[in-house]
């Protein structure tokens, strides 16, 4: 993980987003999805009761609750044709560049069908889908 953050939080078409401030090379690790680790069973319970769109399931045992403000990865928006992906590194969840991301570009990942159906009531509004 680079010492200097190659991104900043900024305004995107759908609210806030994470934007590259310098060139991020393909395959480079961008940001870690930080948060408290809770049992997946408990996470599903929380989600059912009051909803928490920052729950990131690692596996059937563990889920990261990324609702903490220090988790800047939570600002990364969904795109159907994303330029980054989430990868598991040991027990850490890291966003990695799928391609070279130029300064100023919004960093996006694909949240998956389930998330899109659940939280995008009016359909996906990513750059590709807005066209």
Contacts with Zn ion by CB under 5 A lie at 80, 124, 126, 129
- How far is the C-alpha of 28 from the C-alpha of 41, rounded, in Å? 32
CA distances from residue 121 to 36, 103, 114 in whole angstroms, order as listed = 28, 31, 12
Closer to Zn ion by Cβ: residue 28 or 129: 129
Q: How far is the CB of 68 from Zn ion (least distance, A)?
A: 27
Closer to Zn ion by Cβ: residue 98 or 129: 129
Closer to Zn ion by Cβ: residue 43 or 101: 101
Q: How far is the CB of 113 from Zn ion (least distance, A)?
A: 11
Which residue is listed with tokens 């999805």?
A: 33
Q: How far is the CB of 117 from Zn ion (least distance, A)?
A: 12
3-state secondary structure of 92: strand
Closer to Zn ion by Cβ: residue 38 or 129: 129
CA distances from residue 117 to 28, 51, 106, 113, 121 in whole angstroms, order as listed = 29, 14, 22, 6, 7
- What are the structure tokens assigned to 120, written together? 């995008």
Q: How far is the CB of 101 from Zn ion (least distance, A)?
A: 18
- What are the structure tokens assigned to 60, written together? 């059937």
């Amino acid at each position: 993980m680079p010492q200097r953050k190659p991104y900043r939080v900024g305004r995107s078409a759908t609210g806030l987003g994470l934007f590259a401030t310098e060139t991020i090379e393909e395959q480079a690790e961008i940001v870690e999805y930080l948060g408290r680790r809770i049992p997946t069973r408990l996470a599903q319970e929380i989600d059912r009761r009051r909803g928490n769109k920052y729950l990131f399931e690692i596996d059937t045992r563990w889920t990261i609750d990324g609702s903490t403000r220090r988790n800047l990865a939570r600002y990364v928006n969904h795109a159907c044709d994303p330029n980054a992906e989430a990868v598991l590194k040991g027990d850490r969840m890291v966003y990695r560049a799928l391609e070279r991301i130029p300064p100023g570009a919004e960093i996006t990942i694909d949240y998956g069908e389930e998330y899109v159906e659940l939280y995008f009531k009016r359909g996906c509004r990513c750059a590709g889908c807005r066209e």
